[in-house]
Structure 1
Amino acid sequence: MNLRRLKYFVKIVDLESLTLASDVLHVAQPALSQQLATLEGECKQKLLVRTQKGVEPTEAGRVLYRHAQAILRHVEQARADVQNAGRSLVGQVSVGLAPGTAASTLALRLLQVVQGRHPQIVLHINENLGTTLFDAVRKGTMDMAVLYGGEGPAQGLSFDLLTKEALCVVAPAGSLRKDEISLQDLGDVDLLLPCSGNQLRRYVDRAFATVRMAPRVVAEMESSSTLSAAIGSRVGATILPASVARAVAATANAELHQLISPVIEVPLVLCASDHLPMSEPAQVVRGILLELVGEDMSSPA
């Protein structure tokens, strides 16, 4: 097998369509189909199957896809490392920061430190849902992401625990009378929470389920700025990790309350591919990100 066929195969899998891949690669579809047939012959396995939506990889195809991603990334990295040998670090690095995480408050500092130390590294910061970031890192379209979760194994991904944070309640000033509250105290409180697919929301829903309650959700939102404005306007309260809760409370007419019954801790993890190589610029950015998260976690409340 050669690199060109692997490149074609990866693009077909990514786009889930021979037709779309043909257009993007500027290769006639019959020629693309022939290259795929040759690759299947070399592997002695059927790699793709047609579905109503397009094409999808077989089990053998998924195995080859992971290897092909790693091979193509190795080649790209080798080319870049040779070209930049002896020079300052150059390249693009993509970092995902899930909204509502401690790391999302570090986006500006991360950009400033990277620019100050390595001005030729172009940093791409993507603030998106955790599930979206998982998929991007798994496919190799993003170098790394910081998000909540990662408790169990996930195919194609590795997780480094950064810290664990306790969840707190942020409520409009004067709406809750106690500094320390339980989930039972929130039974009649209007809540503003992330959508149901969000990792943080899953922890909240699980905690309510343990006390046989359901959160009284009046709106779902991911944006910290919108959340701050809604709490400041007394639309409702929210439940957030301590670091983000402090930031939201500081920008709204809101008060912070410790959640003590039960105490809910969520792991904050750095997610990366477990099989795709990380470029030297990406490794440097990863180190800076870990440094900043460590500083933030060790700073006083």
Structure 2
Amino acid sequence: MERIDPLTGDRARIVASRQSRPNLPDQGCPFCPGGLEAPEPYDVRWFPNRWPPFPDERAEIVLYTPRHDASFADLGREEARQVVDLWAARSRALGDRDDVGYVLVFENRGPEVGATISHPHGQIYAFDTVPPRAATELLRGDATGALGPDAPDDRLVATSSSGWRAWVPWAATWPYELVLAPVEAVPDLPSLDPAGRQALGDLLVDVVGRLDRLFDAPMPLMMWFHQRPFDGGDWPDAWLHAHIAPLLRAPGVQRFVAAGELGSQVWFNPVAPADAAQQLRDA
């Protein structure tokens, strides 16, 4: 059930059924081969979320690898490409449904962001309408040059083949925040050609590895993809890209979002974007 706060305009989905979902599996990893959610061997795998925030199987889990102790940074080129291919295939399958207007591919990594199972995995939510954050970006289009071919100069972190780049945003709200996007506009994951899919996989392996090496430990992070809505609209300015929000600002020190930021929606970042980019380039 979606509600809109009459004072702030914020949207909230009330999903009381998720209160009963387990915090940790009772025994073994359900995502390892032979486990509850992966009874057969697999390379990559998807399945409906047992505790979905949406009805009608519009929430899915994506398993990146059968290796429990791996991370995206440990994937080989073929493995990373398989994950991107699965994201694209599920985006298309969900987006083709009449009751879906937007497909959000995302990952929560680490217990600091509430990930209860360490096995490498992400999720997909299929919204009936375009969520506010994605809608804001779509309405702004590329008028700001935020995703276009203009080089982010001293904030550039890494590049990949076929024109994909990763950089720290000009007004980063997280200390080591990253945006990944192709230099030339591609509207959504299903529209990526084979070279673009490989380039995205390669770049994700690269930058997640840099984040892990930065403080010599796996970086807890949130990642999400913004892409063209699947609502049948034109959306000529849609430009596929990923946001990565790492939680740590120093070894073992988490960047907390406090009342002054939530109350004002003005963010206070203790690390300059150019400095963050330099540290990631060196990692």
TM over 0.5: no
Q: Give the number of the structure whose residues are more often helix, by fraction.
A: 1
Bigger-Rg structure (1/2) = 1
Bigger RCO of structures 1 and 2 (CA < 8 A, at least 6 apart): 1
**TM norm structure 1:** 0.24
Q: Scaled by the length of structure 2, what TM-score is found?
A: 0.25
